[in-house]
Structure formats: C-alpha cells, structure tokens
Structure 1
Amino acid sequence: MERWLDTPTSFVSRWLQGPRWLATWPVRKTITVIIYTLFVSFLITYKSIKHDEGLEERIAFRAAWITASQTSLPFLLAVRVNPIGLLLGTSYERMNWLHRWASRVFFASATIHGGFFVYEWIAADFFWTELKTVKMVLPGIGAWFILAWTVASTIPFFRRIKYELFVVQHIVSVVLLLVFLVLHVPDHHLFSIWCAVGVFAYDVVTRSANPIWRNLWMRVSANPGVRYAHEASVEAVDDELTLMTIRNVRFKWAPGQHVLIWSPTFRWETSHPFTIANTPNPESSMQDIQLTIKTKTGLTRKLNEWARRSGSDGSMRILLTGPFGSAPNWKQYENIVLIAASTGGSFITPVLEDLLTSQSPGCVRKISVLYIVRRKAHAEPYLERISRALSRAKEMGISAKIEVAVTKGSKTVAEAVLQDEADESRERLIEENGRGPSMELERFSLDSEPSSDSGREDQLLKEEVELGFDGGYTYDASSVEHTEGRPEIATFMRTAVGSVPGHVAVAVCGGDAIEKVVKTSVGSMRAERDSDGLGVHDIYLHIERSDI
C-alpha cells in the first residue's frame, strides 16, 4: 500500500521533465485537494447554472445545503483518536493537512452561499430589510466571520507566534461557530450540524479519556494507593538539549510514535508532543520512556532552565497522553536509509534499534544512517542506545553503517544542509523558514549557531573512531563514521542506495531544509534507476514531520 501511494510522486519525478523543485512537489496531496474541490464545485453548480432571474438565489441555496453537509468533515479530520486514520492505518497528525484544506473548501462554499445572497439583496435594495425581518441572517453572518477568522488564524505565521494562544482561540472559535450554525440553519437541515456537534463531543471525550487511562493507576495489593502521574527525571545536556526519562509507564508503543506531556510544574503550558526516542522492552510490563527535547521557547526552554537549576537529581511529575503516530513496515525493504537532523534522531533511532533487535529482520539487508547534529554531545543519547544493537547486525546478516556529521559552528543545522553542494546540479536550495516553538514535534527542531567560514568546514574530515563516552559504551569503530562540517547528503544517499537491485526506503526527519535536499536527491535517483532498468525496484520516501 505504501509503495502504491507513492506512485504519483514517482511518476512526476521520473517522467515529467521540468525544474528540480518538481521532485519536491506534494503530488498526492495536490491531487487529493483538487479532486475534492472539483467534487464540491460540481455539487454546487450541477443544473443550477441557468441564466435567468433566479440564478443568484438558486446557487446560494444550493451552496447552503452543500456547505451544511460538509460541516462534519473538518471536525472528523481533526479528531485525535481518528476513525478515518484507524481505517487508513495512519495517525491524526498526518491527516492535519487534509483537515485544513477541507476547512478552506468549507469556507469557500459558505462564502459562495452568503455572497450570492448578499449580492441579490443589495441589487434589490433589500439588504437591511432582510437583516431586520429574517432572524437567521445575523447568526449566519456571524458564523461566516468566525469561520473566516478560524481559517485565517491557521496560517503558519499566526500559529507560530504563540501556539498555546492559537489552541485556546481555535477551540473558542469552533464552539462559537457551532452555536451560530445551530441558530442559522433551518430545522429541517440541522441534522448535519448536530452530527458535527457529536463529532466535537466525541473528540472531547476521547481526548480526556486517554490521559486518565494512561496516568491514573490504583493499587489494591499490600500497599493500596492511587497514582495520578508519572515520575520523570530531567537532565540538561547543555542549554540546547534536555533529556527526560519517564519511569514505570504501563503501556507499549511502536518505533516513531510520540506522546504528549504536561507537568503541573509548568501548569500554564499546554500539553506538548515529543517523539519517543527508545523502544519498549518486550519482556517487561513496566517501561521507561526517553525523550530528547530541543530547547526553543515556552515549555522546552522552561524545562531546560529547570533541569540546569536542579542538576542531575531533578525530577518532576508528568502526565502522558498517547502514544500516537504510525510508521511504515520497514522490514519489507532490502535497503533502508535513515537521515535525521538535530532531535530528528528521536525518530530514526527507535526504527534502527527495532530492526536490529527484532526476532527477524524481514527483507532488510543494508541500513545506512546519517545523524546531523551541531555538537557531538547531541548525538550521544542516540549512539548509546544503538551501540547495544549494532553488535547484532553481523549476526543477522545486515550491513549497518552509521555516520555522525557535527556541524559545530553553523548557525543552524538547516543552513549547513542548505550549503550542501554534493547534488549534481550544485543548485542552492532556499533557506528554511523559522519554525514555531510548540507547533511541531520537538524532534524537528533545528536551532543552532552561525557557521564558521573556516577552511575545515568546506572539507569533511572523516575519521573512523571507536567511541567511548562517560556512559562507558563502545562498539565497532567500522560501523560509525564521524565527520565535521556541512554534510554531503546527496553523496551519502547515492553511496547508501547504490545501483544494486532491490526495494529501497528512505526516511528523513529534520524539517523543511533537509526534506528538500532529500526529496530532490530521491527524485534524481529514481530517474537514474529507471534509465538503468531498475525502475521496478523503486525508492520509497517517508517524510516524518508534524502537520499540527
């Protein structure tokens, strides 16, 4: 299914001749949005376009019923415990883009409904009389303005200013919208609105039930008691990275999933999503969750400052929600390439660890991993975990190669990536836009410091070393390669993929800048493999990011 869904992107990158940015175009999303928009447009215009005196009123009424019928869809796509996601085998955050586009089409449909009525009333000099005599008109106008604000406020610029404030106003706006719609829509069509109210209520109940189920634990044995939260130890690696270990969690999760955390220590902060950086122990019912948290603003900065004040003994109460998220079945591919920037390692490390510790690796025969970090210490939490699994690679017949690229003085990891000239076109990609503090899963944060212009930065200083950190862990030096300076991602990918037949999976987690480089490289390699007769063995691209 994953390979089939990737077909439109593969088609464009191979057979459509055009600029290189075409390889990074979200083809599947674009096709989905266009089809849905055309479908709604067809429903509004079918047999209603007749150039007579009733044209405006006919289109306005048709748009009214079509708009009311759409009301439940944006709500259903925003539900965290998502029935559609369960049917499709995906998670709520990977459907959020569709929620936003469904809302925009809903708004456009409502605008057609109201716009044609207002035009008709103004043309007949009847607008103010309509407002005074028809009670449902004012609630309808109010609903339109609320909907317009709701759609406008979801633009990334507004979401990133203060995400917590965005969440609060978004909930208030949605509640007011439903109230105005109930007052506006005639009784014989209120069923559609009550369906949306029911979906909203379902979301509230399921969002509330999950943290209660995950955090409330009653013990009735020898020492009866009630636990309402988890104990978590918090340690600051430096002012840019915080490690959190949540103890004695009574559930399991899959690699790549995330949880939302909230602490009464920072009671005014909203719950925050983080990718789980480790895999569960299958032999134990009690688990420890490890999180690597990039310091930005809001909760992440407060956590880091609190950890530095508290020292190595810092602990706090944490309430968990989740786990959420879904990932492909990596074992169906012969060759896997994992690329992460900054705390994107929280995603690829559990994937690698799971592949090397499972009973059967499936079809996997080769794994190549690239960590891009600003400081060597930022990679240590990930290397410490995979060091225990690397020793099994040879036993399982898997060739595993790990590369850690330390950008050191670069302003951001993203800028180091953008300077990569290994791509055959040597074109420079656009600079990554700033990302908000709480909008995204923290595995995607890319903040660092400016890049040095020294000569060393232009040349990777590669040295295979045996790592031994304070934790005392070591592993085969031939499996790990350290580099300094900007990483040559395109070169790394070409070496990892090679020209050997076999299905390849490339996964990237690290934000817009690194995604663009990886997408462009995958597009080029797809075209080359097709020309070499290897097109049947396609390259599947998985982009792990948050669309919240």
Structure 2
Amino acid sequence: MDLMSDMPMGSMSMGDGAPSLFTMQKMYWAVVGSAIGAATLVNILNRLLAQHRLRDSSLTPAKPKSLFFNTYATLTAIVREISNATIHPLTLFNSTYTIHFPPLGPVLIILANLITILVLSFYKLDTTDVWQWEDIGYSTGFIALCQLPLIFLLAGRQNIIGFLAGMSYADLNWFHRWAARTLWLTATIHMCFWFRDWARYDYIKYELYNDELTKRGFAAWCILTFIVVTSIRPIRGLSYEVFVLQHLVTFIGFIVAVWMHVPDEVKIWVWIPIGLLVFDRVARYAWGAYTNLAVFHRNKSGKGSRVWTHSATFTPMASNITRVTIENPGIHWKAGQHVFLTCHSIIPFQSHPFTIASVPEDEKLEFFIRAEKGGTTRLFRYASKNDKVLGAVDSAPSARSRTVFVEGPYGTLRSLRQFDSVVLLAGGMGATFTMPLLRDIASVWTKESKGEIGHGSFQAKRLAATKRIRFVWVIKSRAQLSLFETQLHSVLADVAECRRRQPDFPRELEVSIYITCDEKLDPPALPSPAQGVVTSGQDPSYKKEISVEKDNISFHSISANSSLTSEAAPAPVGKGCLPGGGCCCTTQIEDEDQINTCACTCSGPAQTNPNIPPPSTSDEKTIPSKEFSPTILSGRPYPRTIIRKVLEKAEGESAVVVCGPPGFSDDVRRSVVYLSDERAVHKGTGAQGIYLHVENFGY
C-alpha cells in the first residue's frame, strides 16, 4: 500500500499508451465538472423559465409556447419519469422493518460516478497479470485520493455545488454518503491489490508491523470503514447528537491519516478538502455571528442593549409537540426553508434542523417540534413545565423565554408561483413544510385581487401564474388540527374575500384533511357564537350540535379539540370501540367524491397528554361553509386520484410537493411517474409537465 517512490509516480504511465496518474485524476474531475456544469445550466434555464412565465400576459403562462421551451419541456418530462421512478419498499422481519429505496435518478448518478472511477482505475491494466498488481495499487490509490474534494463539496451546508445546481445541502447529503462509500470501495481495492501482491511472498504481516507508511494507510482505511458503517441510517438514527460529534472527529482523524500516508506530490488533494471544510465553517460562523448578534439588528429587535438577537418562547401542544416562537428574527427566509436551532440553556451544545412553519409576513419564526427523543424531548419537557396554564411558579414570559441561536435559512425549492396548478401533500408534521407554501401562493392571490402589483421596467406582470391549489394533510389525531387551524382559517377566508371582491376570480383552492385515528373527546362547553357546530364524544347518543350563522357565513367545528370548519360528518366508529378507546381507519379512499365508510379498529386509550390544555376555540376570521371549507375524511388518501383530478384541469406545467413519512412520499413519487407516463406528457398529447419535489433529509 506504499504510494511513495524514488521518482514521481503521478507522472508515470501505468500501461501501454495509458495516460499518467495525474492525467487520470484530471480526467475524473473533467467528468465531475461536466456534470456540475450541466446541473448549473439546467438551474439557470429553470430560473429564466420562471421569470418568463411571470411576464407572460397570456391566459396560460405556464404552458410552453415556443419551439425551444417545447423541446426543453419534452426532455424534462423524459428525464423526470426516469429519475423519479422507484421500486416498492422491501419489508423484512414480519413487517417490523421496511427498506425504502431511492429513486432511479440519484442511483444512476452514483452508478455513473462508480463506473467512471473503475474505468479510470483499471484503464489498460490486466488484473490477472501478477506483475501489474502493484500498478493497479498505485492507480486505485491516486483515483481514491482525488475523490476527497467531492466528498467535502457535497457535505457542507454552505454548499458550492448546491448554489450552482439549485439544490439544497440536505438533498446533496445523500450523494455525499454514497460518494463516501464509493471512496471506501476504491480504497479497499487499492489496499487489496497491495495485499495481493505482498501475499505472494507472505509479506503482509511484515509490512503492517514494520512499514510506517503502510500503518498510516491501513489506519486511514479503518477510520473510513468506521465512518461508512456508522453513517448507515439505522445506526446514525440511534442518536443524532452522537452521530454528528463522532462523524466530525473521525473525519478529522481520517484526513490526518491520509495526509501522513500520501506522497508530497499529491497532498494537494488533501489540502483542498481541508480548505473546503475551513470555508464552510468560517462562512457558517460569520453568518451566524451576523444573524445572532443584536448589534446588527437593533432597529429590528428594538432591544439594542441585548447581546443576542433571538429570544424564543416554548409552548406545549397536543401530541407531544412544542411550538417555538421567535419574534422579529434577524434573518430573511422563504416559504419551505429551515434553520438549525440551538438553545444552550435547555439542550446545550446541540443544533437541530427544524422547518420554518411561518411565512415572512408573520414577522416571526415559528416551529412545531415533535418530541421524539434526545433534545426534542427536553424541549417539550421544558415547555410543559413552564407553561402558564399548568400553574407553574415561573410561568412569566421572561421565565419561559430563552435565548436561542439560529443558523440559516437553508433549503432550495423552485418557486411554486410559476406553475399552473400546485398539489401539496403532507403527512403529519410534514404540514410545517407545505402550509407556508400554501400561504405564500394565497398571499399573492390576495395582492393581485387588490391590484397590489408593483411597477417598474423589470417588474413581472403578475405575481403568480398559479390558478389552482390542492392541499392535502394526513394526520393521526384530530388534536393535530390545532397546529394550523388558524392558518387554514386565514387562507380560506382570504380566498373567499378574493372571490367576493372579484366574482370572476380565476383561482381555485381545495383543502382535504384525512384523519387516520380518532382519540377520546371530552364533552365541550357551550360554544361561542363564532364557534358554530360542535360534535362531542364518540357516542352518537350524546352528540350535540349548535348551528350559528353570522353575515351569511356558517361555522362547523369538527370536534371539541378543534374549531376547524368542516361540512363532513365525524369519522365513523367501529363496533366495539368504547368511548375510552380510540378508533383507527387506514382504508385508502380512492375517490373523495364517493361516500366512504370505514370499519375502524380499536387502538386502545388515546395517547394524549392530560396536562396540555385544549386549543383555543376563538376564531379570527370567518369561512364560507361550502366551496371554501376543508373536507374532513376518515382514512388514508389515494394520491394518484387526487393528482390526476388536478392534472385534468391544468393548462400548463403543474407541481406536486410532498413531505411526510417515507412510505407516503414513495407512493406520491410512483403516482407522479405513472400519471406522467399515462398522459404521455409533452409527447404529442398536449398534456402538461409535472414537477415533483419530495422534501426529506436523505433517503
């Protein structure tokens, strides 16, 4: 495994007519650079396309109208169908563990990288020729070394590749892990061929015990193996905090071992990753200092005497969820982005990524954090202990607020305003991602209906090309409705107001909420006039309804735990389900227009926290009871039918955005691929393209 030689190995050829090792390294980066360049070009074209659509004054701005954009749309549709294709998950151990596979597109990119590496490593070398085993050892060593910069380029949060390609570091992190595994494979081949060469003379043990260079190389391989093993999802999921700490420490050890192992002529490949790591850290710390030091935001915070900018309040909510609120933040963000949040007084020396559930117009950062384990559990315990409703001694706002540090925002998503139709699907806490996107588009609808469109030579003629939005939220418990009922009230009321202000308002919004389980509901107090219909309990014998109309707008509350409007009846209760138990319905509803009945299964006592007070029933806005009321259904959605109905009305390219459990995301991804193929998008049928965004932190 010795890379040293009396003469520079990098300038030598490893075979008849083969390029030098230095040339092989340059060829590898020519391939990588070409891929990054192609992704950059696509990103630029997409940005130009978005601007073009917002400047298009026709009735179908999201539909391609030129030969160039038609050709681009056709190629895009073909690539999307291939890249989004995925196979069904594999269930193991009697359905106790499920393996979810990544889509075909990322897999093909990783395979292309692997093939490139293997071709360059073995170019014009014969693996059966014992006299070439040493040459293969050198070749694979040099190729392994030149992969290091790519590993670090894909790992940083301040990501150069992400900036050029228009991708989030969270999406690139999957490529980072697989590129590291490819590096491990190349390093293993490099080591094995040296061992194979030494084994002819029974020399392996001697080299490992006596040769310093071999010791360092073997140490680097051992550290890299540990890194690869601990980065596997089941292992890294055991403790996020421990994984982050050991990952950083072991990578530093790996770089040091590699630097000590390689000759001086190729140490540049080690210095580049070190420089990238330093750049990422310096950029993050510099931006973090600007974001979190109050001296840079005194006018905004109004508290110039404070050292730190951000102070957060923590409120416990149903289903073990903590609401974190930061007023007047020192950052600017877009809907769909996330930040890393740190609160040393509660969870010291830890930083966790959380999606921003608010929009910039709120002038506050809001997060809904489910208590899973580790730091998130401690946040919920702190919020519950200090909540004023529970009668805590130190329940004053000053006692409940804590200084927090914000890093970000991060996250990249193509502007949804450029699409004709948008389908937003969320499972559980995935609504923290889709709700701001819904509010963002609805807000520009309101501005357009009021005529609030800016002027200027470069100002778009419209704020959004979107004509219809389909919002779907799947939750287990009705109590979770309280998380976003105010936001849904606001959005539905705003759209209704747009319709009243402009009778021919060319926008459509449809909201569906699927409830898979229902917990015990306590009988509510008499509702206020704004509350309307209240259905309480699971026994129809004591169901009580009160209907109130105000200004020709009626309210219908679905349960005591939520004042959210609904025309739908409560979820059916299966036989044998007692009031003290829960009712679960996992039947997939293929068509919302058909009346669905669901045989529920008893799930035992509801998993609710008795210390959490019920959500407020005060309503800030009123909602029309028909067209602009959400549909409440018991069961699970059938994404293919939901998306198909939207696409049938689309007059331009549509967008489908999903955020939820892996199984739900996979189902949506397969549905989009199926529908794109079924409709023969941009292949002579006139059907329009489908852009898909799946929000997650790796596969």
Change in Cα spacing, 1:142 to 1:13, as seen in structure 2 (3 Å) is closer
The amino acid across from 1:482 in the alignment is T
Q: Would the alpha carbon gap of residues 245 and 528 (structure 1) be closer, same or farther in structure 2, given more than 3 Å must change?
A: same
Taking the TM superposition and a 5 Å limit, the aligned residue runs for 1:25-36 are 26-36=103-113
2:583 aligned with 1:474:
no
**For 1:41 and 1:294, how far apart are their aligned partners in 2?**
44
Is contact 1:13–1:527 with CA below 8 Å preserved after alignment? no
- For residue 544 of structure 1, what is the amino acid of its counterpart? E
Conservation of the 8 A alpha-carbon contact between 1:274 and 1:293: yes
Change in Cα spacing, 1:95 to 1:192, as seen in structure 2 (3 Å) is: same
Give the distance between the partners of 1:152 and 1:19, measured in 2 at CA.
24
Unpaired runs of 5+ residues, structure 1, are 424-450, 456-466
* Residue 401 (str. 1) matches residue 503 (str. 2): no
Gaps in structure 2 of 5+ consecutive residues: 1-41, 47-72, 91-99, 389-396, 448-461, 520-582, 592-598, 604-614
Q: In the alignment, what sits opposite 2:642? A: 492
Is 1:77 matched with 2:148? no
Is the contact between residue 232 and residue 315 of structure 1 (CA under 8 Å) also seen in structure 2? yes
Say if 1:352 and 1:386, in contact at 8 Å, map to a contact too.
no
Distance 1:416 1:47, change over 3 A: farther
Q: How many pairs does the alignment contain?
A: 499
After superposition, the Cα gap between the structure-2 partners of 1:13 and 1:357, relative to the gap in structure 1 and judged at 3 Å, is: closer
Change (3 A) 1:416 1:207: farther
> Partner residue of 2:666?
516
Report what 1:331 is aligned to: 417
* Equivalence for 1:382: 484
Cα offset, 1:536, TM superposition:
4.2
Q: 1:20: how far off?
A: 7.1
SS of residue paired to 2:517: coil
* Larger-Rg structure: 2
Letter in 2 for 1:511: P
Cα offset, 1:34, TM superposition? 1.1
- Please say which of residues 467-476 and 397-406 is displaced more in the overlay: 467-476
Equivalence for 1:353: 439
Cα distance change on mapping 1:417 and 1:369 into 2, 3 Å: farther
TM-score (norm 2): 0.66
Structure-1 residue corresponding to 2:472: 370
SS of alignment partner, residue 423 of structure 2: strand
2:694 alignment counterpart: 543
Q: Structure 1 residues 6 and 113, CA, compared in 2 at 3 Å: closer, same or farther? A: farther
Which stretch shifts more, 352-361 or 538-547? 352-361
Q: Distance in 2 between matches of 1:485 and 1:42?
A: 55
CA distance in 2 between counterparts of 1:223 and 1:470 reads 31
Q: Deviations over 1:70-102 (max 9, x none)?
A: 111111110110011111112211101110111
Counterpart pick for 1:453 among 601, 612, 631: 601
Q: Deviations over 1:217-238 (max 9, x none)?
A: 1278998534225111211122
Is the deviation greater in 46-55 or in 117-126? 46-55
Corresponding residue for residue 251 of structure 1: 331
Cα displacement string for residues 93-112 of structure 1 (whole angstroms, at most 9, x for unaligned residues): 11011101110111111111
Q: In structure 2, what is the equivalent of residue 7 of structure 1?
A: 78
| More moved, 498-507 vs 512-521 | 498-507
Shift of 1:484: 3.8
Cα deviation 1:433-470 (Å, max 9, x = unaligned): xxxxxxxxxxxxxxxxxx94169xxxxxxxxxxx9932
**Is it true that 1:189 corresponds to 2:266 in the alignment?**
yes
Contact between 1:408 and 1:484, CA under 8 Å: does it hold in 2? no
**Secondary structure in 2 matching 1:167:** helix
Give me the whole-angstrom Cα distance separating, in 2, the residues matched to 1:295 and 1:189.
48
* Distance in 2 between residues matched to 1:246 and 1:509, nearest whole Å: 24
State the TM-score, normalizing by the size of structure 1.
0.83
Shift of 1:330: 1.0
TM-superposed CA distance for 1:289, in Å, is 0.5
Question: Does the alignment pair 1:288 with 2:364?
Answer: yes
- Following superposition, the deviation at residue 521 of structure 1 comes to 2.2
Secondary structure of 1:218's counterpart equals: helix
Give the residue type in structure 2 aligned to 1:397: P
Which residue, 246, 254, 266 being the options, matches 1:177?
254
Compared with structure 1, are the counterparts of its residues 401 and 224 closer, same or farther at alpha carbon in structure 2 (3 Å cutoff)? closer
Distance 1:142 1:5 in 2: 45
Task: Judge conservation of contact 2:585–2:634 (CA < 8 Å) in 1.
Answer: no
Aligned CA distance change for structure 1 residues 53 and 344 (closer, same or farther; 3 Å): closer
Following superposition, the deviation at residue 268 of structure 1 comes to 3.4
How far residue 12 of structure 1 moved from its aligned partner, in angstroms, is: 7.7
| Secondary structure of residue in 2 paired with 1:378 | helix
The question of 1:113 aligning with 2:190 is answered yes
Comparing 41-50 with 85-94, greater Cα deviation is found at 41-50
Read off the aligned partner of 1:69 and give its amino acid letter. C
Instruction: State the secondary structure of the residue aligned to 1:227.
Output: coil
Tell me, in whole angstroms, the C-alpha distance in 2 between the residues paired with 1:346 and 1:514.
Answer: 16
- The superposition leaves residues 98-151 of structure 1 with CA deviations (integer Å, 9 ceiling, x where unpaired) of 101110111111111111001111221222333355321101000000000101
State whether structure 2 residue 610 is matched by structure 1 residue 530: no
CA distance change for structure 1 residues 468 and 181 in 2, over 3 Å: closer, same or farther?
A: closer
Partner amino acid for 2:107? Answer: T
Deviating more after overlay: 63-72 vs 19-28:
19-28
Q: Is the 8 A contact 1:503 1:538 kept in 2?
A: yes
Q: CA deviation at 1:341?
A: 1.1
